[in-house]
Amino acid sequence: MFALVANAAFLAVEVAGGFAFGSLALLADAAHMATDVVVLGVAYAALRITQRPPTERHTFGFGRTEVLVAQANGLLLFAGAIVVIIEAFRRFGSAHEVSAAGVLVVGTIGLVVNLASAGALFRHAHDNMNMRAAFWHLFTDALGSIGVIVAGAGIALFGADWLDPLASILISVLVIAAALQLLRDAGRVLLEGVPAGLEVAAVRDALAAEVGVEAVHHLHLWTTGSEHAALSAHVVLGGPLSLHDAQVRAGELKRMLATTFGIEHSTLEVECHACLDDEAHEHKTTAR
């Protein structure tokens, strides 16, 4: 929460400073800082949303709300960065007065805010994907603040006004990279792609290697939110087994999936043999 409030407050300061001091670099860095606010806001929202139970109309819960928000913000950030780049090239051909002192002050404050926020998140970055993404966004934004400071120093010492639009272009490239990352991650979740860091073949092989498992088919991996992996599969067990024994074995397989791959939500349909439809499906999949 500290990082979110600090970055949101400084975002307003940086936008005001960009207009007041005539610095496109500050406005570009503000756009980059907006990515931090988006990521931090989404991460905080995710923590709140996951506490809401599923309903009769939303049986999977509300985990993908953060994904929709991230996708929309990614598009807006991408468009904003393009506008800044166009304005930067326009300024290369025309003189524009920039207040070097103001740029230096705001850039220095921004660097302090980013480093402090990154430090606050660092201890949580190893255990949470959202927090890890937010940490790297803040670290990258600190580099953007350094670019603003360099531009301000160059203008103050050498009168190199061209450093301001140059810095804004470099920062905008960072914004575009962050926006594309948001869009890519959101698209993967919405298209029910395989979660990052997991391989279907590895999960299938691990299930097939378990004692008593004769075959695995119809295996699907996806994410219900930004980091919650889910799995469904048909598992053929060697028998004969009672219904109770099959349930016990399925529970053991689910625990293995949770321990080995971090898949906490898995649905396994246990079978004594593969049905004809399943075999035909697997044959078609292999032929492709």
Same domain, residue pair 219 and 103: no
Domain end (from 190, 224, 252): 190
**Domains contained in the chain, number:** 2
| 174 inside domain | yes
Same domain, residue pair 175 and 245: no
Q: Which pLDDT value is given to residue 50? A: 64
Same domain, residue pair 179 and 275: no
Same domain, residue pair 169 and 235: no
Domain end (from 159, 190, 221): 190
Same domain, residue pair 181 and 243: no
Same domain, residue pair 276 and 258: yes
Same domain, residue pair 44 and 169: yes
Q: Using 50, 70 and 90 to split pLDDT, how confident is the model at 219?
A: very high
| 149 inside domain | yes
* pLDDT, tens digit, 9 for 90 and up, residues 28-74: 777 767 766 776 777 677 667 767 788 888 877 777 777 777 777 77
Same domain, residue pair 256 and 184: no
| 195 inside domain | no
Q: Using 50, 70 and 90 to split pLDDT, how confident is the model at 210?
A: very high
* pLDDT, tens digit, 9 for 90 and up, residues 154-206: 888 887 778 878 887 887 888 788 778 878 888 888 888 998 889 999 999 99
| 253 inside domain | yes
Please enumerate, as own/partner, the contacts of 169-173 that have beta carbons within 8 Å and a separation of 24 or more: 169/28, 169/84, 169/85, 169/88, 169/89, 171/25, 171/28, 171/29, 171/31, 171/32, 171/144, 171/147, 172/28, 172/31, 172/32, 172/81, 172/82, 172/84, 172/85, 172/88, 173/81
* pLDDT, tens digit, 9 for 90 and up, residues 92-140: 766 566 777 888 888 888 888 878 887 877 766 555 555 666 676 677 6
Q: Using 50, 70 and 90 to split pLDDT, how confident is the model at 12?
A: confident
User: What is the extent of the structural domain holding 230?
Assistant: 200-287
Q: Assess contact for 180 and 73: CB atoms under 8 A.
A: no
Which has the closest alpha carbon to 230: 189, 281, 201, 271? Answer: 189
Residue 139 belongs to domain with CATH number: 1.20.1510
Does the pTM surpass 0.85? The reply is: no
Same domain, residue pair 142 and 262: no
